[in-house]
Structure 1
């Protein structure tokens, strides 16, 4: 635990390793200054139980923090703000927290560029048949088999379906548009004018799946988006096309996707899975035509520091009574995984 001798008013429940990823020395000093302005000290702890919480008005959270239930809140009588370094607040945000009137903010906006870049990386890899050629060379196959690999494509002019105009979806749209793709957008919350302003053609899901060379999933996690891309939808994707998922596994039926991969009809690049860590014997690990990464699309140095900067900005605003830019309310929990 670090901090001064006075009671902590700002408590960061963030491991030392993650804290170093999120916060520069300058932003750490901003946290200390915020705590001092609130009449106390700043401390970093691994668990809430490691700090004296009677005077804490702000708690900074990261992955692994438990729910703020009645028992926890009883130890935090002066809590006014929970500032999350990540995106989803579902693991800890409770009705009791909102009933108390505690404000909650999150730093998901800091992840958008990193995830969009990985989605672009996946897109280029699938267009250029990198997984197929990599598999062939690693397993000792021939130097090049055009029939096995499939047709390679450029992104210039490629029809790409973006499923969801989320923060990452918009970031991805900007990147592929800059490289000359022909984006289609599927999002029932937008009209044609809004889609056009994002540089995309607004189309229904089925049409997008039939036309796209790449389908990139960026939709929110809602009851109605569970397995949005299921067996029927995968069957609509044309032969030789690819699926990119850096959003949530919730959106894609894994069993149906694995069956399609084994048929060698389509390819995929996946960063998110129903079970994480991915078991050693999981079918994805042996499936052909698939590129896998361990849920690290948001893990860039720059993105992590943006997340920390957002938290520091929110504390600065909180101290002076200014509006907070990244608040999440109870109703928005339903769109988080």
Structure 2
């Protein structure tokens, strides 16, 4: 794990639970499995409990872990450290993608409702007017979430959770995902449409597709131009999915608003207009698990460790054939 991660990941109670589940040293956190100081522990390890910043499990690392049978990841994607050698070895792999999806979906729901209500725009104007006499009924005549159309790009785990969270609200949901049938989309509660049509019909577009070569800049010039004036683009996925060079002119003129939790590059370069544009809410990739939300991922990982110890299947097993179209 990256330095400092384990200290934030586990509560005291969860550390005690880990010690009860497995024969382990709760104080031993390997930041780099190439370090000879971890050689003895690696040679004896049956399960690795990993999180962000884990060492890639290359053939060389696995060769020094002859007893290793499983990897339990207390975070979302395992693409950074679970290599082809792990699948060749037949390792069991679990991830906490579901636990990490919930806070992202919650952030997105809040962003959608605030965008529909034009909260950020109203707050800016309120400050500019210093509370003076003003007819807000005229300026905010287009605000509100009654039958607003929301476009969800990607029926990923997070995208599906966002659709689920939107069900109590009186909004229309459009969905673009080439892997989802019309029937499945209807069951989710969304209308399946093409990507450009989704952008053209939605006053709020939220991106939840995985980062893959084919999804790079999927929200490009044509899609951005199709979005109606005053629409909001929300991106909590990866910065590479949006063509930032094509987006900036729309943001600079104020034609579109942005809620950007991810960018390309991440962090934006010094002097980027994203820092100062009044119609952009820029956050530091915090939609996912942060603060006490890390304990939810830890709890899931401990649940999976218990299942492994009991000889029962993981609830969120990761399979190599699914990684080609997932985060």
Who is 2:28 aligned against?
44
Indicate yes or no: 2:117 matched with 1:128: yes
Per-residue deviation at 1:138? 5.8
- Unaligned 5+ segments in structure 2 are none
Q: Is the 8 A contact 1:261 1:288 kept in 2?
A: no
Q: Find the counterpart in structure 1 of residue 88 from structure 2.
A: 99
What CA distance in whole angstroms lies between the structure 1 residues aligned with 2:135 and 2:5?
A: 45
Per-residue CA shift, 1:225-244, capped at 9, x if unaligned?
A: 21111011100011111111
- Give 1:288 deviation, angstroms: 3.8
2:5–2:52: 8 Å Cα contact kept in structure 1?
Answer: no
RMSD between aligned alpha carbons?
A: 2.6
Instruction: Using the TM superposition, give the Cα deviation of residue 291 of structure 1 relative to its aligned residue in structure 2, in angstroms.
Output: 0.7
Query: Does 297-306 or 131-140 show the bigger shift?
Result: 131-140
In structure 2, the residue matched to 1:245 is 235
Size of the aligned set, in residue pairs, is 321
SS at 1:44 equivalent: coil
What residue ranges of structure 1 are gaps of 5+ in the alignment?
A: 1-12
Alignment match, 1:19: 6
Shift of 1:34: 2.9
The alignment's TM-score, normalised by the length of structure 1, stands at: 0.86
CA deviations on 1:227-263 (whole Å, 9 max, x unpaired) are 1110111000111111111112122111111121112
Equivalent of 2:256 in 236, 258, 266: 266
Cα distance 1:63–1:138, how it changes in 2: closer, same or farther (>3 A)? farther
1:123 and 1:34 map into 2 onto residues whose CA distance is: 41
**1:188-199, aligned counterparts within 5 Å?**
188-199=178-189
Could you tell me which residue of structure 2 aligns to residue 110 of structure 1? 99
Structure 1 position 310, deviation (Å): 1.4
Tell me by how many angstroms 1:198 deviates. Answer: 1.5
Q: Contact conserved, 1:150 with 1:240, CA < 8 A, in 2?
A: no
> Tell me, what secondary structure is at the counterpart of 1:178?
coil
Matches within 5 A, 1:21-36: 21-36=8-23
Maintained 8 Å contact 1:132/1:149: no
**Helix, strand or coil at the partner of 1:45:** coil
CA distance in 2, matches of 1:67, 1:80: 16
Instruction: Determine the C-alpha separation between the residues in 1 that align with 2:139 and 2:2.
Output: 45
| Pair 1:73 & 2:99 matched | no
Which residue number corresponds to residue 89 of structure 1?
Answer: 78
Q: Tell me the distance in 1 between the aligned counterparts of 2:202 and 2:191.
A: 12
